[in-house]
Amino acid sequence: MQGIAKMTQWRLWYTTVVVTLALGVPAPDVHSDDNVVPAIAATAAIPGELRGFWDLAPDPCTLDPKVESDSRLEIGDTFVRGYEELMEVREVVRVSETPQAWRVLAISGIAPADVQGPALYVLSGDSLTIADAEQSRIYVRCRETTVARDAS
């Protein structure tokens, strides 16, 4: 049990450091004679590695039509859909290759403007940590299940 607590503390510390660096420090610019070009190209599309359904860890997640979850996320190419919330992705910037991490700006139609801002998405296998200025959450990738059906 002590090992799990120590690992959780390490992950929270690591996430805090990465979020501070990714959200608090602007990316350097590359200067040319005629203009300034961002060092990291931004896009408004979520990378394929992040797309799909996710639910809060530590429980495994399956896409069973009979099971509902208030904590499930659907991440599409230009949106993030949570429980009663749809966010439009405005900007995605890759900030790290190892671990795979992206700074994502997604705007909610229902959240107040003063609480909206970028979040850091860190992917490790089937685990996704999403951290913003106020909190971090660890999600697991949902897998489809085979539902037994009557042959009749």
**What secondary structure, in 3-state letters, does the chain show?**
CHHHHHHHHHHHHHHHHHHHHHHHCCCCEEECCCCEEECCCEECCCCHHHCEEEEECCCCEEECCCCCCCCCEEECCCEEEECCEEEEEEEEEEEECCCEEEEEEEEECCCCHHHCCCEEEEEECCEEEEECCCCEEEEEEEEECCCCCCCC
Mean pLDDT of 105-118: 85
Domain map of the chain by residue range?
2-26+39-144
Q: What is the pLDDT of residues 120-146, one digit of tens each?
A: 999 999 999 999 998 999 999 998 764
**What is the value of pTM for the model shown?**
0.67
Note the pLDDT of residue 18.
42
Comparing 44 with 130, the larger pLDDT belongs to: 130
